[in-house]
Amino acid sequence: MRPLTEEETKIFFKKLAEYIGSNIKKLLERPDDQYCFRLHRTRVYYVSEKIMKQATNTGRKKLASLGVCFGKFTKTGNFRLSITSLDYLAQYAIYRVWIKPSAELSFLYGNHVLKAGLGRITDSTPQYQGVVVYSMSDIPLGFGRTAKSTQECRKLDSEQIVCFHQSDIGEYLRDESKMF
Amino acid sequence: MDVSSILNKAEKKPLHIPEKNDDLQYDIGNLTTLDSLSINSEEFLKDVDNNIKDLTRDNAQLLINKLFQIEGELTDTGVVIQLPDPTTKIPREKPVPEEKPLTKWEKFAREKGIKKRKKSRKVWDQNKQQWGYRSGYGKANNEMDEVIIEDKGEIEAEDPFLQRKQNKQKRIQQQKKNELMNIARSKNGKVAKQTERVIEDLSKQAGKRLTRKQRLQKMFRVVQQSTASHGLFDKRVKNEPKVKLSKKQQFNSVTEPDLKNETKNHLDVLDRILDHTDVSINLEKAINQFKDTIDDADIKPKQQKKKSKSRKPRKPKKKK
């Protein structure tokens, strides 16, 4: 476990900003407690100061996890957000997509969101923008990227993809063994 | 035994002369002939084996005839002839030997056009009253052999004998050094020069001019690590300083974190990123609002456009 280097911070924030933009500030400056990002075995964790300090007592080999995992650095040095970060993404997301109850199951099996399943979408969402996907009852289901801008979505056929699937809460079941 | 008489007799009976035109190319030096014309392909193919045998016999006979034409010498073992030089050019088996690298003096001499003069191997030794070798063991005019040194008022050292010894040692050391330098120059002259150039560039970039010693030290450090193992398995020269690998990356302290500072750094990074990604005017949003207002009320588009453009974007609006 160690703090992120400046280069790592840059890569991480760039990816995070695609979903929550300048709301990253709210993650860093919280009124309740001091929080920080820590890197442990290529994964980035969002931890309170208290837990982080407790974790320093555990050896690197024995420490399994701490705080909330936001994702991991790939071996090529990119950053991948993981589904465990959904709590925070959903809180601060700038662009959102709501899907109809009929399309929920399909999305939770890892499929893209089609126009037919699209309930609502944030106004003026650009193309290829990182978005958080909600059910119509405002339960966050996962996140992805828009395939078309809001403007273009209006003209699409019902079978065309509106939002590319990246991650969904079905992964907690599907990828249980690989996740942590 | 006079062979030539036998030969003369044999020539009269031309049994050994095959019935064919002698249009062969000979290379007597290599005991070879080359027959490039004789094959009549149709007849030849009828009985290849015998045809080849006949042809070979005839040609071998012709070659041997040529050998007997050369005048020989009679020795104890029989007639011996001297073969002429081979004419066929055969490619050499091994590559052409590389030229020896020039020593510093040889290079200098070549540039200045200085040529070696032959010196006699032996010189006259006045003291011993005999000829002796110019150099080497027991050489002539060896000052080390002198038992008495005449003081002409030039001797400064306390012990002139010892000084001579020391001087000789110095000369030997210098020569050894020169030899080593010559080897080094010939072996890694290229590498050394390249490295030197790199270091020179680096020091220039840093705005510093290094002294020769500093440059050498720096170069040494570079060369030390220039193998696959970063010099781990290289043979060490005597008194060679240890290889220092480049410093490990230092991370901020884990156990005594300065969280406030860390957060501040994170915010700085964030500001830089957002500066790049944020566009101050969200054109699409502006256009949408503009269109909506047109639909709602009949206002002149020109005035409205200005208004909508001045509005700031990125206010999350959760409505389609």
Please name the residue that has the structure tokens 């270091």: B199
Q: Where are the domains of chain B?
A: 3-80, 159-245, 275-320
* DSSP 8-state assignment for residue B156: -
Q: Which residues pair with A40 in a beta bridge?
A: A43
Alpha-carbon span B216 to B243, nearest angstrom? 15
pLDDT of residue B304: 47
* Domain A95-174 annotated CATH 2.30.130.10: yes
Contact check, Cβ <8 Å, B263/A124: no
In chain B, residues 264-293 whose CB comes closer than 8 Å to chain A: 265-267, 269-270, 272-274, 277-278, 282, 284-285, 288
Alpha-carbon span B234 to B185, nearest angstrom? 20
ipTM: 0.88
Contact check, Cβ <8 Å, A122/B284: no
The DSSP annotation for chain A comes to: -EEPPHHHHHHHHHHHHHHHGGGHHHHHS-SSS-EEEEEETTEEEEEEHHHHHHHTTS-TTT----SEEEEEE-TTS-EEE-GGGHHHHHHH-SSEEEE-HHHHHHHHTTPPEEGGGEEEE-TTPPTT-EEEEEETTS-EEEEEEESS-HHHHTT--TTSEEEEEEEETTHHHHTHHHH-
Is B316 in the A-facing interface, judged by CB distances under 8 Å? yes
Query: Is the four-CA dihedral A28, A33, A34, A40 of positive or negative sign?
Result: negative
Do strands A118-121 and A68-73 pair parallel, antiparallel, or not at all (unpaired)?
unpaired
Please name the residue that has the structure tokens 């400056």: A29
pLDDT of residue B38: 65
What is each CA distance from B208 to B194, B196, B200, B215, B246, in whole angstroms? 19, 15, 9, 11, 21
Is B248 in the A-facing interface, judged by CB distances under 8 Å? no
> How much is the mean pLDDT over chain A?
92
Going by C-alpha positions, the residue among A12, A21, A8 that lies closest to residue A126 is: A21
Q: Where are the domains of chain A?
A: 2-89, 95-174
pLDDT of residue B258: 85
pLDDT of residue B235: 80
Q: Which residues of B touch A17 (CB under 8 A)?
A: 270, 273-274, 277
Q: Which helix or strand (DSSP H or E) is residue B123 part of?
A: strand B122-125
pLDDT values of chain B reduced to their tens digit, one per residue, 320 residues: 677 777 776 666 566 777 777 788 889 998 999 888 767 778 888 888 988 898 888 889 889 988 888 888 888 888 899 888 988 888 889 999 888 888 999 999 999 999 999 999 999 998 889 999 999 998 999 988 888 888 888 777 788 899 999 999 999 888 888 887 887 777 765 556 666 666 666 666 666 677 778 777 777 777 777 888 877 788 877 877 776 666 777 888 888 888 888 899 999 999 988 876 555 566 666 677 777 776 666 544 444 444 444 455 555 555 54
B265 → closest Cβ in A6, A96, A120? A6
Output the CATH code of domain A2-89.
Answer: 3.10.450.220
Compute CA A156 distance to the chain's CA centroid, rounded to the nearest angstrom: 26
CA angle B195, B197, B200 (to 5 degrees): 110
Going by C-alpha positions, the residue among B180, B192, B201 that lies closest to residue B224 is: B192
Query: Is the four-CA dihedral B306, B307, B313, B317 of positive or negative sign?
Result: negative
pLDDT tens sequence across A49-108? 999 999 999 988 999 999 999 999 999 999 999 999 999 999 999 999 999 999 999 999
Contact check, Cβ <8 Å, B255/A56: yes
**Helical H segments across B72-211, by residue range:** 104-112, 160-205
Please name the residue that has the structure tokens 């500093």: B214
End-to-end CA distance of chain B: 127
Q: Which residues pair with A43 in a beta bridge?
A: A40, A72
Q: Which residues pair with A97 in a beta bridge?
A: A121, A133
Please name the residue that has the structure tokens 């063994």: A177
* DSSP 8-state assignment for residue B77: T
Q: Contact at 8 Å (CB) between A143 and A89? A: yes
Using only C-alpha atoms, chain A has a radius of gyration, in whole angstroms, of 17
Q: At what angle do helices B160-205 and B104-112 cross, to 10 degrees?
A: 80
Alpha-carbon span A179 to A171, nearest angstrom? 8
pLDDT of residue B317: 54
pLDDT of residue B118: 94
B71-86 burial: b if 16+ Cβ within 10 Å, else e: eeeeeeeeeeeeeeee
pLDDT tens sequence across A21-42? 889 999 999 998 899 999 999 9
Compute CA A61 distance to the chain's CA centroid, rounded to the nearest angstrom: 27
Q: Which residues of A touch B292 (CB under 8 A)?
A: none
Task: Give the minimum alpha-carbon distance from A124 to chain B in angstroms, rounded to a whole number.
Answer: 5
Alpha-carbon span A141 to A134, nearest angstrom? 5
Query: Is the four-CA dihedral A138, A141, A146, A148 of positive or negative sign?
Result: negative
Who contacts A88 (Cβ-Cβ below 8 Å, separation ≥6)? Answer: A20, A27, A46, A68, A70
Burial class (CB in 10 A: 0-12, 13-18, 19+), B108: exposed
Mutation pick from A1, A6, A89, A124 vs chain B, by most beta carbons of B within 10 Å, is A124
Largest Cα span, chain B = 140
Q: Which residues of A touch B290 (CB under 8 A)?
A: none
